[in-house]
Amino acid sequence: MSGDRLGGAVIETERGRFFVAGTQARFVVAPARVTKVPGSRLGLALIDGRVLSVLSLGKKGAHMLVCELGGQLIALSGLTVLRTGEIGDPLETLDLMRCFQVAMSPAPPEAVSQGPHEPG
């Protein structure tokens, strides 16, 4: 892809740096209070006046990135947005659909929280 420029966001998680395409990334917000959904790896948060599903990519992060997936807005937590705009030679692209599919699989008992938690 050398020389190609793609619009999107570069994020950093506990697992490294990734590219999120501009076709999916919508806006960046400060971390919000996330309520865990019992029996799920997803959480819920009130963001910009809307209750959104939250997919955690890690325990700590300076931002949340709201993305569109299948016509629905979801928030990604546990990340820091390093930059947005045109990106040359992007890093590995974050596969949002795969992340969401993993999150929708049954959570192991130790992953189920008893209630709300503050973002890391």
Q: What angle do CA 78, 80, 56 make, to 5 degrees?
A: 15
Q: Which of 64, 97, 99, 92 is nearest to 79 (CA)?
A: 64
What is the per-residue pLDDT across 24-75, written as a single tens digit (0 to 9) for each? Answer: 999 999 999 999 988 888 999 999 999 999 999 999 999 999 999 999 999 9
Per-domain residue ranges for the chain?
5-117
Percentage with pLDDT > 70 across the chain: 85
pTM for the full predicted model: 0.82
